[in-house]
Structure 1
């Protein structure tokens, strides 16, 4: 056998092996998707329907229950979260909405690479604009007026518990369509002095009603801080240490947040911070909460916890914001709550 023929045969064999591996990956992914699309016995009732973001007294979320509507944006009456779910055709990894404006972060995993994008939505859930994302979707928020939208993605790493991760947080002005690709361009005041560092990361934006003030997490030198920012001044100022994924209360007096328990652990407990006194109140939830909580009203916060015995699924829980009471299951098989 000639050397040329031998190399040709090796090449053909390698192509066949790679093709087989690729086919196996595709079939495995298809099988997993097929299982996820099968409704589970005893699961919630989900039906197709329309949703507009100007509806009142509805609680929207991403449906995590198995079946054809898995990852679809769905809604239930705010007063009856156990009611039949109305699922739309829109599917998202993360979703949020306010004042008739919505944002949907999508992630599509292919054989060779992952495709991520943000959809700016109108009140009828029609896409106004699409933005390519630099990484895996993590957090999304809309300002109370609907004017500003923010999202955070993982550029490297896959979670906040990863040994090495990097995030990118963007803010969009929906009136001018001006996009701030990264909050890392904002100036930082830390401990009353200008601060510069190459390892700065931001995530978990939450907006005030004035369409200028926002709060977020700043990470640098292995520490996290709550920062208050100004969109007009392109500046943030640190307020207190060990605050992640803040969520501003409707009355703007408090921030719900997850606090890392002990140094360098992957456990977070949910707290509420009084912005006037900076007093922290631990909430009744004792499980580790790796989510950006949502205020259902001025007295109650909601958040996602992993579903027991269901890989890749979560349930929505709620608890009083004053540290009293006990957590209760709000919606099983759900994530990304957004009250309308």
Structure 2
């Protein structure tokens, strides 16, 4: 082969290689554009959520806010308790915070428009609205009493997180049957007892209610730069401080333990979960969760917590994780992808 022929062959090979590389690059770019147009959703709805009784007919379920980046973003959703990674049902109602029982759902909403409004929408077992109550600020927390007759809501009146200075909360307890006689109103109006004496600080904030029954509850009270675990009494309208450095309590299903957040020794604010044995007064810090989670945990069962964690690489997407409370160093486990604000709803 002449020198000129060899050059021609080499040139042709270079061109072919270049064209192949360009084609590969174009295909990869097209795939990336397609992925950008259709964000991945590992939790595609398998059917619609329309009734709580039907949902739990086969057994307990986890009800939550769906956070997959799809057309159902923010909607009420559920998975079977025994298959949390399995098919999910998604409803038509959007909620920013959720608490659920077999008979009703507390759905806190941000109603965006020319003027943004906030509301508590109470849904019946058929997931149809039963009552709508305006809220004074951004939804933060909600809980139902064990029999579903009372609902607690916490909203931020100013500020967007507990870590901002100057925040103010409004925490109210209402009767879910619509009777004004069962409403406790704003918990800041309750008498506050600290170290055995009644105090009336003007800077108090209350949040994070968890019910014992229709009379007793636990919550957080902050005043003077200190957070207190308080036991609330709806009959005497009293909040009694029990211990400090406690936020967002959650009572275990068997009523024997409280889970809550504590600010650990790391610089700044960095949360760890802890569990308090109510009989012995012994507190155990759960060292396995190191991400500083800012959420009010719920109980998956008597020995396991569940809570929401935002994804660092996907704005608006959160996952629900679980944590074994029996082993202080247990590592958290991914429980429900693309989920937020979970509640276990019992079966028949």
Question: Normalized against structure 1, the TM-score is what?
Answer: 0.85
Counterparts of 1:1-340 in structure 2, within 5 Å, are 39-41=38-40, 43-54=42-53, 55=56, 56-111=59-114, 113-175=115-177, 177-178=179-180, 179-208=183-212, 210-262=213-265, 265-283=268-286, 284-322=288-326, 323-340=328-345
In 2, are the aligned partners of 1:99 and 1:145 still within 8 Å (CA)? Answer: no
Q: Name the CA distance, whole Å, in 2 between partners of 1:101 and 1:264.
A: 42
Measure how far apart 1:333 and its partner are: 1.2
Aligned residues: 302
Measure how far apart 1:177 and its partner are: 2.5
Instruction: From the superposition, tell whether residues 174 and 313 of structure 1 become closer, same or farther in structure 2 (CA, over 3 Å).
Output: same
Provide structure 1 residue ranges, at least 5 long, that are not aligned to the other structure: 1-36
Instruction: From the superposition, tell whether residues 214 and 162 of structure 1 become closer, same or farther in structure 2 (CA, over 3 Å).
Output: same
Higher deviation after alignment, 150-159 or 311-320: 311-320
Give CA-to-partner distance per residue, 1:76-128, whole Å, 9 cap, x none: 110111112110001000011124121000003335x4211001121111111
Three-state SS of the structure 1 residue aligned to 2:166 is coil
Three-state SS of the structure 2 residue aligned to 1:318 is strand
Give CA-to-partner distance per residue, 1:163-217, whole Å, 9 cap, x none: 2200000101124532333101111111111111101110000001x31110000
Higher deviation after alignment, 217-226 or 275-284: 275-284
Q: Name the CA distance, whole Å, in 1 between partners of 2:141 and 2:37.
A: 28
Q: Name the CA distance, whole Å, in 2 between partners of 1:238 and 1:276.
A: 17
Measure how far apart 1:224 and its partner are: 0.4
Residue 24 of structure 2 aligns with which residue?
none
Q: Name the CA distance, whole Å, in 2 between partners of 1:274 and 1:152.
A: 26
In 1, are the aligned partners of 2:41 and 2:70 still within 8 Å (CA)? Answer: no
Provide structure 2 residue ranges, at least 5 long, that are not aligned to the other structure: 1-35
Question: Root-mean-square deviation (CA), in Å?
Answer: 1.8
Three-state SS of the structure 1 residue aligned to 2:171 is strand
In 2, are the aligned partners of 1:108 and 1:116 still within 8 Å (CA)? Answer: yes
Residue 25 of structure 2 aligns with which residue?
none
In 2, are the aligned partners of 1:300 and 1:320 still within 8 Å (CA)? Answer: yes
Instruction: From the superposition, tell whether residues 334 and 170 of structure 1 become closer, same or farther in structure 2 (CA, over 3 Å).
Output: same
Q: Name the CA distance, whole Å, in 1 between partners of 2:266 and 2:191.
A: 27
In 2, are the aligned partners of 1:53 and 1:102 still within 8 Å (CA)? Answer: no
Instruction: From the superposition, tell whether residues 222 and 174 of structure 1 become closer, same or farther in structure 2 (CA, over 3 Å).
Output: same
Instruction: From the superposition, tell whether residues 216 and 263 of structure 1 become closer, same or farther in structure 2 (CA, over 3 Å).
Output: farther
Instruction: From the superposition, tell whether residues 266 and 324 of structure 1 become closer, same or farther in structure 2 (CA, over 3 Å).
Output: closer
Question: Normalized against structure 2, the TM-score is what?
Answer: 0.83
Higher deviation after alignment, 83-92 or 321-330: 321-330
Measure how far apart 1:50 and its partner are: 2.5
